Copies of this chain bind each other. A is one copy, B any other.
Amino acid sequence: MYRNPPVPPERISKIQLKLQDLHVEALIFLDIKNIRYLTGFSGSDGALMIGEKQKLLLVDGRYTNQAKKEVGNIEVAEYQEKIDGIEAALSDGRVKSAGFESSAMNVSSYLKLKEKLKAVTLNPMSDEINAIRAIKDEEEIACIKNAAEISFQALTAICNLIKPGAKEKDIAIELEFRIRKCGAELVSFPTIVATGANSAQPHAAPGSREIENGDIVMIDYGAVYHGYNSDETCTFIVGSANKKQKDVYSLVKQAHDRALEAIKPGTQCREIDRIARSCIEGGNLGNYFTHSTGHGVGLDVHEAPRIADKSANILETGMVITIEPGVYIPDLWGIRIEDMVLVKEGGCEVLTKVPKNLTILQ
């Protein structure tokens, strides 16, 4: 049982108000982070049915007691098979039409449920709760700030290990240990420590490669605090940097800075992506910036909004997003600079705390 910031009851009552617009009697939530957002339940699996007057959390036997302690005045029921639990909840509630989270139900379960509940209309529901979750309240922002602070303390504590002869995986292990010791309940994702040519893979897993003088060391890491994630990437150079490394670092930093400067409520997310991307393209390295510029962060490490080429999202006050341009030159090295920021009136506040100027570790 992880601690949660208090869950405001309005989260569920807002959902209940949407039932009529959606023309359904109940909604079935299946995304476990959405369920945590709405109820405070911190287990790894379950389903949540919300009707006009009903709030029912379905969990398996591992979580029954925990759920009852975590969710306050929401009814808890136990299932052996989730699909049977959902079927029973809809039948018992005499529900004739239900929306469900179509991006969190697999086709196999869907086909079974349709077969079992022939008299019930099942409507795939778009991910509108994502838009709600994208805007963080004060409690949530406090958790994310704490997660970023923990990450910073942890990286600072292990920075002296980043030197010639050190193995990627040993740095990753020590960093994750330190993140936990500094107060995180978990790490946000398996830490990336990619050195030398390995850093040319944006999502390399840390291996046995030993750092050499002149290496790039890319570290992508995060902490979880009360369920909320941080996400940050630092790219260091060990010993001394050559001209190409300095030039590309400077270009990526420029892309990062310009994107940050452009952030404010009302700006289109794809515009932020365009600004970062055109910097990199200006250095003729556009082909090596192989991912989008950023994403929202919260209960999920990746959530709405998307800071990408084809994103339809618009920045709003209270969103927490990453800005993470990168250049990856195959078989040579890669550089990514990632900060996590809070969108505020007129601009943004950087929440991650490691300075992003070129840092050569001696």
Residues of A that sit less than 8 Å from B by CB: 1-3, 42-44, 60-66, 80, 100, 102-111, 124, 127, 169, 173, 176-177, 180-181, 185-186, 190, 198, 200-205, 207, 290-291, 309-310, 328, 330
Contact = CB atoms under 8 A, between A and B. Distances in A.
A2 B205 contact: yes
A211 B283 CA distance: 58
The oligomer's copy count stands at 2
B291 A60 contact: yes
A42 B205 contact: yes
13 contacts: A1-B204, A1-B205, A3-B207, A62-B203, A66-B203, A102-B108, A103-B108, A104-B106, A106-B107, A107-B124, A169-B185, A173-B177, A177-B177
A44 B291 CA distance: 15
Report the 5 A-B pairs with minimum CB-CB distance, sorted nearest first. Answer: A61-B290, A102-B107, A102-B108, A103-B108, A173-B180
Contacts of A107: 100, 102-103, 105-107, 110, 124
Given A106-B106, A107-B110, A290-B64, A205 B185 contact: yes
A42 B2 CA distance: 30
A256 B3 CA distance: 33
A21 to B, nearest CB: 20
Nearest to A180: B173
Contact of A105 (B1, B106, B181): B106
A201 B290 contact: no
B207 A1 contact: yes
A104 B103 CA distance: 11
A203 B105 contact: no
Contacts of A2: 205, 207
